Every structure is written in structure tokens, then in C-alpha cells.
Structure 1
Amino acid sequence: MPFKKLHTNILERLERKDITTPTPFQSRSIPVIKSGANVFCAAPKDSGKTTTLILTTLHKLKCEAVGNAPRAVVLVENKEKALELYQAFLTYTKYNSLRVYVGYEELHIDIQKSEIFEGVDILISTPKTMNKLFLLNGVSTSQLKIFSIDDAGFLIQKSDSSAIISITQSIQKCQYVLYSEELHPKLKRFESYFMEHSKIIQI
């Protein structure tokens, strides 16, 4: 059972939420993501992809705050998705010390830089905002452990795709996990850039 082998803090949260049984997608994907491999995760809507993203991120960071630089980055399509995911993370981080920060295009970049500088563990952002932060030295990737992309179908658009490639070129060593409903050929092309030796979980 994938849930049984997660950090005790996560198990307590799942119990409070009355989540006891993993979905078929979670049963297959969580052990592979925990192994540290780069993973393409493709499954239909409501298969438990976003919950998997949250659980594996928290597990990777051992549910505790460390240092100031982000150790997990999650990229999403837009402000709405960013805020939605931020709220979802908060329901799991309420009783641990992890610091979650959300950034998006509409929020002034200097504000984001100064707030990130104060210390975050999990940074949720959009590709364009993240790329801008990179170019302005507004975020350090020296401590990054896991880089996830939620509902990655939007990356089929060229501009977002270019921003992702630009961001990942500056990252030394990190695990990448990409979640989408379908494994589009344009997403598979990331194998040549940052998804090397990746595994595929498809439901």
C-alpha cells in the first residue's frame, strides 16, 4: 500500500481527511516517484494526480522546513491553477513547518523576489513568472530536490514550453515529474532536455 510507506505526518493528514485507499494511479505512481526517477504520469481527470503530486512532494521534503531556498518547485498553467494548488497544499502543511509560496504573472516580480528571499520550501508558480524570477536572480535552485508540473497539457503551447526549457537548463540536479491527462508527443520531447531516463506511468 503506497500510503503506508509515506511520512507519518502525511499519514496523519490522510487519516483526518478519511483517505484510506489509494486510486489505481496512486498505487502505481507513488512508489516510482518515491524512487527518485524522472516520471511522466498520464491519467484521466480525477485519477488522483494532484494529490499524488502533493503527497510525494511533502514526503521528499520530509514534512519540515529547511534553509531558505526552495527545495520543491511546482509549475502550473495560470494564476487560478496556482491559487487552487496552493490551497490544496495548505490542507496538508497545516500541521508541519513547511512553507508554501505561490507566485503568478499578476503579482509584481519584486514583491515575489523579496518574499521568496525570506524563505520558502515549496514554490508554486507559472512558467513565465518562474523564468522571470530566474533571469532576475530572484530564486535559488541550489537546494532543489523535486520539480513537478501539474496538468502539463498547457505546455504544448510554444511560449510556455520554451520557458520550461530555459528554466531547467539552469538547474544542476533534480527529479522531474510531469503530470498530464495524455502523454502528448510534444511533452515526450522534453526527454531530450530534462526528462532523461524517465519512466512512464500511464493509466
Structure 2
Amino acid sequence: MPFKKLIQPLKDTLEHKGFEEPLAFQKQILSKIKGGASLFCIAPKGSGKTTSIVLSVIQKLKGEAFEDAPRALIFVKDKQAALDLELEFNVFLRGTDLRVYCAYDEKSIDAQRDEIYVGVDIVIATPKRLNKIFFLNGINLNKLQMFIVEDAEFLFRNNNLGEVTRTPESIGKCQYLVFSTTFDSRFERWRESFMYNAQVVKSK
């Protein structure tokens, strides 16, 4: 998908940053994501995976805030990864009114629940904290459109895989996107369940 097919605020930011066309891997995945496909996006660092997440989410949500419940959920490994991804989003949110929120373990869970309740569009979360908030009825996942895992290698440490696997049991139809440097055989369980028919796209 060429950048010219993105919403105007994204095109303006990309032009300001001097990005004229997608990187090779972005060309492979952006149009598939826009079309609604669930994907395992497998590519080395530096191939544009994080920027692809940001562009795809903002594009899917049309750059517009809507009601209170989040429409995109992105799992990350830890607090620093959440804050880094939030910064990346902030670069591209100019000209939109989308609301991004980070949920991680080092902050009061009651405060996080209250802040989410006010209304968010995109939640960036560590797995354990997201599930704690969910089971306290602190987040409504009924409006979720995109379920994303960034740098998915972390899933195979500290029971993160189990924590993330629990979440799709509570949501309806959704687009699933997993970004990683390798395709782990344990992902096959997801392809047999909630990521049924998901494509594996590897960097050429």
C-alpha cells in the first residue's frame, strides 16, 4: 500500500519526516492489514514493523476518537516498551484526536482503571496488567477491532503466552496481528484457534 492511500494526517506527518514510500517489508504487509487480514509479520529489526503498527492502527481508526471503549489493543513486553511505542504513536497522531493509553504494572491499578473508564481508543499494555484490569471489570473489550502483539519474542517468558492467550476468549470478531523476528512453532496453537486462517508474511 503506497503512502498516498493513507488518511491525510498520516500523509502529512510522513511527508514532514521525509518518508516518500514504504520500506520493502511494509509494502508486503500494509495493504494486507488495511484489508483486514490477520497476520504473523516476521521480519528482522529495522524493517519498519513498529511504524507499520502505528500507521495501520491510526488508519483503521480513521484518526478519529469514538465513544469510550478501546478499539485497538497492543501487547508489549514491559513498561519501557509501552512508553516507547506511545512516543511513536504521538509522532503520528498530529491532526487526529485519537487517545492512547499505557497500562503497566508499576502504576496504581485503580488509577489505571479510572483513567481507561474516561475513554481511550488505543491501549498499549503489558499482559499481566491488562488481564488484572479486565478481571476487575476495568476495561471494555467489546468494541475491539485490532489485537496486536509487538516484538512477540517476549511471549515465551514468564507465562506471557498464557496471559495473552486468555484475552481472545473474551472478545468477538477481531483482526489479529503478531510482529516478531521469528515464527515460533508455539504460534501454531493460535492459528488453530482465534487466529484461524492467519497468513504468515516473512521478509523477502
Range of TM-score over shorter length: over 0.9
* Match of residue 28 from structure 1: 28
Deviations 1:113-159 (A, max 9, x none): 00000000000001111111111111001111111110001112361
* Match of residue 91 from structure 1: 91
Deviations 1:55-109 (A, max 9, x none): 0000000001010100111110000100000111011113210001111011111
* Match of residue 15 from structure 2: 15
Instruction: Check whether the contact 2:103–2:112 (CA below 8 A) recurs between aligned residues.
Output: yes
Alpha-carbon distance in 1 for matches of 2:188, 2:43: 15
* Match of residue 162 from structure 2: 162
* Match of residue 129 from structure 1: 129
* Match of residue 76 from structure 1: 76
SS of 1:176's equivalent in the other structure is strand
Instruction: Check whether the contact 2:13–2:94 (CA below 8 A) recurs between aligned residues.
Output: no
* Match of residue 61 from structure 1: 61
* Match of residue 185 from structure 1: 185
* Match of residue 42 from structure 1: 42
Instruction: Check whether the contact 1:103–1:126 (CA below 8 A) recurs between aligned residues.
Output: yes
Alpha-carbon distance in 2 for matches of 1:188, 1:106: 32
Instruction: Check whether the contact 1:69–1:140 (CA below 8 A) recurs between aligned residues.
Output: yes
Alpha-carbon distance in 1 for matches of 2:33, 2:80: 26
* Match of residue 116 from structure 2: 116
Aligned sequence identity (%): 41
Alpha-carbon distance in 2 for matches of 1:139, 1:179: 24
Instruction: Check whether the contact 1:2–1:26 (CA below 8 A) recurs between aligned residues.
Output: no
How many residues matched?
A: 203
Computed over aligned residues only, the root mean square deviation of the Cα atoms, in angstroms, reads 1.1
Instruction: Check whether the contact 2:40–2:178 (CA below 8 A) recurs between aligned residues.
Output: yes
Deviations 1:161-201 (A, max 9, x none): 11111111101111010000011112332212321110111
Q: Which amino acid aligns with 2:105?
A: E
* Match of residue 101 from structure 1: 101
Q: TM-score, normalised by structure 2?
A: 0.96
Q: TM-score, normalised by structure 1?
A: 0.97
Alpha-carbon distance in 2 for matches of 1:159, 1:200: 24
Q: Runs ≥4 in structure 1, deviation > 6 angstroms?
A: none
Alpha-carbon distance in 2 for matches of 1:85, 1:102: 9
**Shift of residue 12 of structure 1?**
0.9
Q: Which amino acid aligns with 2:28?
A: R
Alpha-carbon distance in 1 for matches of 2:63, 2:118: 19
Alpha-carbon distance in 2 for matches of 1:81, 1:44: 17
